[in-house]
Amino acid sequence: MDAKYINVLLIEDNLTDTALIREMLNEVQKPRFKLHNTRRLEDGLNYIEKNEADVLLLDLNLPDSFGFDTFLKAKERAPQIPIVILSAFDDEDVAINAVKGEAQDYLIKGKVDSSLLSRSMSYAIERKAIEGELIRHRDHLEELVQERTIELQEANKNLKKEIEERKMAEDEIKASLEEKNILLEEIHHRVENNLQTISNLMGLEYTQLNDKEPIEIYQESQNRVKAIALIHETLSRSEDFAIIDFGKYAHDLINHLFKSYAVDKNIDANIKMDGILLDIDTAVPCGLILNELVTNSIKHAFPSSYFEDRKLLKGRFTQPSNREFVNDQFTGQNDITGEINIFFTLDDGNFTLKVGDNGIGLPADIDFRYAETSGMQLVNALVRQLDGLIDLEKDNGCEFKIIFRESSV
């Protein structure tokens, strides 16, 4: 990428549309864009092979290529470059197929201004860079698996030397090694699935661009990636490759969120979930649910007016004392304290996850099951993924209660 410019390759045969796009990009003060235009797909792909391009702005109907095949050809020839489709086709099916096919965005001509076009291309470049970093992590994991496999093979050779003396012991060791290989391969497969989950989360957040500041979107996406990354960090420290101590994970996640949002000392987190062990297929959706609900409490449950009103009320009845740390929570005895409560239990095969706070609560006219925010949409989708049920209690703040069955895996 040029230090001063973002190099944009526009493949568009309509001169009027080209001039309009050039004019919109010239209106943007930061970042600055340098536009190169070709009218045929083949000319554009040849240009990419010889020149630097940070993002490809692609029309689907060109003299030498038509429809969705245009995107497929561009993706095959230039997989390293983020592609933003700018088409006259206002077709929802085509747009869905394009995003599923790893297009970074699908914009409709006539419905785009300079600000939207600039944001779309900038975020396309950022997401492509993040995807590349995740792929590098995946490749590193593959190297670790290969190294581990070599070590296991060497151990197997040594055991074979003692085959006559330790026949039964060797059979048990082989079974153990095979099981570990299967678990490692399964972890690799799940990491790939989680890479796709991360991509989908970023796509979900991108739909909120008109309602949120980019820095807020970046922070929320970063915390969602961290929620998944902590799963694998916890897994890597576990003696059992398949099971996660979710209590330990929850403490790490909440600690990260409190630091990320610079939470005031007057807000405490109470965490109670001793002995909750989850497999990775259950831990990932539970971790993302916990991330979304705690983030919502941190951002919205405790405005400054919450503490001011309660200080006035408490000052009439209590005397100040010291703030103490007891077990898994802070107890503010001389301050007005907001509380975020997280309880996770297992009873007769049923998991119950409760996440709530004693803040200002949700407005009465909001139905969380049909919320327009990406966070609540994600929570509802993840509860369905767990085949679970979700309910909301609004007494003294709000508390989400999620129930699902224990996995048979």
Task: Tell me which residue of 84, 111, 101 sits closest to 24, measured CA to CA.
Answer: 111
The predicted-structure confidence for 379-407, as pLDDT tens digits, reads as follows: 999 999 999 999 999 888 999 999 999 77
Q: What are phi and psi of 30, to 5 degrees?
A: -155, 125
- In order of 138, 216, 276, the CA distances from 102 in angstroms are 18, 24, 36
C-beta separation of 390 from 400 below 8 A = yes
Top mean-pLDDT range of 219-223, 264-268, 388-392, 404-408: 388-392
Mean pLDDT, range 21-26, rounded to an integer: 92
What's the residue count for the chain?
A: 409
Distance in angstroms (rounded) separating the CA atoms of residues 186 and 180: 10
The predicted-structure confidence for 45-102, as pLDDT tens digits, reads as follows: 999 989 889 999 999 999 999 988 999 999 999 988 999 999 888 878 888 888 888 8
C-beta separation of 70 from 42 below 8 A = no
Q: Tokens in use for 5? A: 């410019």
Side-by-side strand order, sheet with 5-11: 32-38, 5-11, 55-58, 83-87, 105-108
Strands (E), 109-231: none
pLDDT at 198 > cutoff 70: no
Task: Tell me which residue of 224, 227, 263 sits closest to 375, measured CA to CA.
Answer: 224
Distance in angstroms (rounded) separating the CA atoms of residues 55 and 87: 16
Indicate the residue type of 302.
F
Distance in angstroms (rounded) separating the CA atoms of residues 67 and 294: 44
Q: Tokens in use for 129? A: 């860079």
* Residue carrying structure tokens 């449950």: 301
DSSP 3-state of 225: helix
Distance in angstroms (rounded) separating the CA atoms of residues 234 and 253: 11
